[in-house]
Amino acid sequence: MAIPAASATETTSRFSFPSAYTILFALIVIIAGLTWVIPAGQYERVASETLGKDVPVAGTYAPTDANPQGFFDVILAPIAGFYDPGSYSANAIDVALFVLMIGGFIGVVTATGAIDAGIKRAMTRLEGREKWMIPILMGLFAIGGTTEGMAEETLAFYVLLTPVMIAAGYDALTAVAVILLGAGVGVLGSTVNAFSTVIASDAAGVPFTEGLMLRLVLLALTLVATVAYVMRYAARVKADPSRSLVFDRKTENETHFLKASEAGASDFTGLHKIVLLLFGATFAVMIWGVSLGGWWMAEMSGLFLFAGIGIGIVGRLGEKGLVEAFVGGARDLLGVALIIGLARGIVVVMDAGHITDTILHWAEGTVAGLNEVVFINVMYWIQVVLSFFVPSTSGLAVLSMPILAPVGDFAGVSRSLVVTAFQSAEGVVNLVTPTSAVVMGGLAIGRVPYERWLRFVWPVLLGLTIIIMAALSIGVLLQGTPA
């Protein structure tokens, strides 16, 4: 996969690519416009005790009353992205609050000087071996993605790893790539991920262990490909910083992420060690809570609030210093929280306009009567399109699998392969889709403009798609072989 080079004239170009806020609001307007064009329709739904949700019933699609979204719906969409103004039920408010708590937590830890001193000590110890951080970290994130669908939880790691990568001689884009691609290919190659493979398999009516071998192969191939790509880019940036795709932000990012503490920044004291030990323990507790404790956003937010207060006390910041550090850190990520609400607002408008099921119905008709190999590859691309509109992995699994998996029976394609096509497509799209709070939030925290990320990642998308389509095709040809 070739790595795109930075343009020498980029900073002097008259055209300024819109910010993430503008892109997302424009998408809200476009989707609202589509609700006036795409016919409204819905499937009948039945409660599923296994999934704990209502699932659509194949063959029950019927037109329904149109509900085109107008001016006031567009204006309210970013608000509805946080919570439903009618029922007051949460949409993305929990994720946004989680991000603010992370910001406050990091602000407190930074104020102690422990992060700056720790980074300097780590870079001294790793001198000459910094590149091995990339495959190790990407492998760890991939494990999180394939086992428990690590997504929103990764937002906590951008503020941790970005300064480390910059201090190692790389750039902010390298840090974003390590996290987003690492966890992303893990989700793409989900094995026992309850939010993707398990839910999709249950909705399709097959055991989640069916097709496991193919998914392991996909995970291995895509992880090797993305690690090689990121390491190559990082090595190029380290050798010549001007080749970074965010080189024009180099000084700004170094100032932001490598803030020198006013006192003791160069000395790694015993107090710094204690603070960093508590810092690492907080993330360990978060991972335990999500994986085994049944935690989600509220519990994780409470953890970072509690840990921030505790570290502020241990770090001897004082009451005023602790409050100022926490509020200042939350303020730094306020823009990220707003982006999350905007991203969810797109889905809100589409659902309110009753066009989600119509798009799914069109997909159902598209794959009918196709050859097996053609069917599974068309199914992949259908899921790519659906994933853009429904960035939630579990949400799309519940929505699409009860409809599209049975279609595979008529095409002679196993339902487990349809599940693999679904999770692969969702994994690829969620590396770039602007409707994903994880993508837009991660880029905002890492201070990487969206268009720079697209320039960096398009060769990855191409390579991953080739690998996936080849694997799905071979999977069809090997049907019947024990997996």
Reported as a single tens digit per residue, the pLDDT across 167-201 is 888 999 999 999 999 999 999 998 877 678 877 88
Sign of torsion, CA 397 428 438 179?
positive
Query: What pLDDT was estimated at residue 186?
Result: 92
Provide the pLDDT for residue 229: 97
Query: 244: which residues sit within 8 A by CB, 6+ positions away?
Result: 6, 171, 173, 237, 250
**In b/e form, how buried is each residue of 163-175, taking b as 16+ CB within 10 angstroms?**
bbbbbbbbbbbbb
Burial (0-12, 13-18, 19+ Cβ within 10 Å), 50: exposed
The C-alpha atoms of residue 32 and residue 420 are separated, in whole angstroms, by: 31
pLDDT given at position 75 = 92
pLDDT of residue 260: 45
Residues of the chain with pLDDT under 50: 8-13, 260-265, 481-483
Provide the pLDDT for residue 102.
83
Check: pTM over 0.85? Answer yes or no: no
Dist. CA 208–CA 215, nearest whole Å: 11
Token code pair at residue 257: 């992420």
Query: Which pLDDT value is given to residue 14?
Result: 56
Tens digit of each residue's pLDDT (9 = 90 or more) over 377-419: 999 999 998 888 777 777 778 778 887 888 787 678 888 999 9
